[in-house]
Amino acid sequence: MKDFSAPLLMPDLLDSGQLMGLMNMFRSAHSVVVTAHHGPDGDALGSTLALATYLRSLGKRVSVCLPSMFPDFLRWMPGCRDVLIYRDSPSKVRSLLAQADLVCCLDFCELSRLNAMQEAVERCRAPRLMIDHHEGPDEGAFAFQISRPSMSSTCELVFRLLYQLGAYEGMSRSTAALLMTGIMTDTGNFAYSCDDPVLYLCASLLMRKGVDKESIYKKVYRSWSQGKFTLWADVLSQSLTFHAGGHASVFTLTREMMKSHKFVRGDAEGLVSEPLKIRGMRLCVSLREDTEEDVVRVSLRSTDGFHCREMAERFFDGGGHDDAAGGQLPFPIESAREVVLRAIEAYALELGGE
């Protein structure tokens, strides 16, 4: 039971020894690469851009390099035009990594989440700093770890870190907007992973910097194209199937469907959570054909006491959070669907099915 009688203050993220170690790491670095996982979302993009801004304020030369492109609906975020995408410019990113004396890894804790960029980061001789809120960090992969799986988002982590470093007073409205975006997207606009009162203290402090939360909400959640709207309608009406006595659901999203609805990057964001609105639903699984690689992307969302991360690890070579996980399967999508159905059958009792 949390004690709400005392005034709510911002708790330190790191102890004094850890803080000194991090400050020494920053102090000794001159050229820094900041990166996040493949398929970056609002939390990955917001946290990398915010940390990069802080490091530049210390006089560092900083490059934000991501394995793949972020969703189109995040193109408004301050600083995103300067992001380098490994898939588009592998030689340039490898050159920056070769020159770096610090690599900051945000919103992932396993180097495999870098996909094609993994080898380039592993070859880099610079120490790696990890700031993340996922379970199960790679043992020995990072020189310094800030791992807080209980926190809502990596953007919350970065904000609390910057606050402890004394950077809040000079924080710009643009940086605050980056961090607010990541918090909002990773909590579904404060719908889940948000039961810690400190999170709302972070949000209120960001709003004091002039962040327009309503404006961010409109840019992220109310900027749909007609194609995205009809795509969601098509998937939910034509592709969605129910299993485990109505406690699990599966849908597929093929390249043909995406093409017919003029799909752009990010149009499927959030779709996997929609069936959770159905009474009694505890697990939703989405299968999407990747548009650039011959793999099927698997996304899982769960609720009401059933946790999907173990299923993602066991059946889909993936991982993530207890109630938001992912992985991938090889083509074709029909075979991938059979694997998903076997996974649901294996967890039928836990899901409450017959």
Please check whether residues 285 and 317 belong to one and the same domain: yes
Task: Answer whether residue 314 is part of any domain.
Answer: yes
Please check whether residues 230 and 323 belong to one and the same domain: yes
Task: Answer whether residue 9 is part of any domain.
Answer: no
- Looking at 220, 244, 279, the residue that finishes a domain is 220
Please check whether residues 113 and 52 belong to one and the same domain: yes
* Predicted local confidence at residue 213, as pLDDT: 95
Please check whether residues 73 and 169 belong to one and the same domain: yes
Range(s) of the domain holding residue 43? 16-220
Task: Answer whether residue 3 is part of any domain.
Answer: no
* Predicted local confidence at residue 144, as pLDDT: 97
Q: 295-302 and 324-330 as β-strands: parallel, antiparallel, unpaired?
A: antiparallel
Question: Which CATH number characterizes residue 40's domain?
Answer: 3.90.1640.10
Please check whether residues 188 and 273 belong to one and the same domain: no
Please check whether residues 164 and 233 belong to one and the same domain: no
Please check whether residues 124 and 246 belong to one and the same domain: no
Amino acid making up residue 163? Y
Domain count, the chain: 2
C-alpha distances out from residue 142 to 10, 28, 128, 147, Å = 27, 17, 5, 11
Task: Answer whether residue 125 is part of any domain.
Answer: yes
Task: Answer whether residue 10 is part of any domain.
Answer: no
Cβ pair 303, 284 in contact under 8 A: no
Please check whether residues 215 and 230 belong to one and the same domain: no
Taking the chain (354 residues) in runs of 10, the rounded mean pLDDT of each run is 67 97 97 96 98 98 97 96 97 98 97 95 97 91 96 98 98 98 95 92 97 96 94 96 97 96 93 96 97 92 95 94 93 96 96 73
Distance CA 297, CA 334 (A): 13
Please check whether residues 110 and 243 belong to one and the same domain: no
Give the Cα-Cα-Cα angle 174, 216, 300 (nearest 5 degrees): 115
Q: What is the DSSP letter of 211?
A: -
* Predicted local confidence at residue 6, as pLDDT: 60
Please check whether residues 21 and 162 belong to one and the same domain: yes
> What is the pTM (predicted TM-score) of this model?
0.91
Helix (H) or strand (E) holding 27: helix 16-28
- Looking at 220, 249, 276, the residue that finishes a domain is 220
Task: Answer whether residue 37 is part of any domain.
Answer: yes
Distance CA 130, CA 147 (A): 7
Q: What share of the chain is helix, strand, coil (3-state, %, to 5)?
A: 45, 15, 40
Task: Answer whether residue 230 is part of any domain.
Answer: yes
Please check whether residues 148 and 281 belong to one and the same domain: no
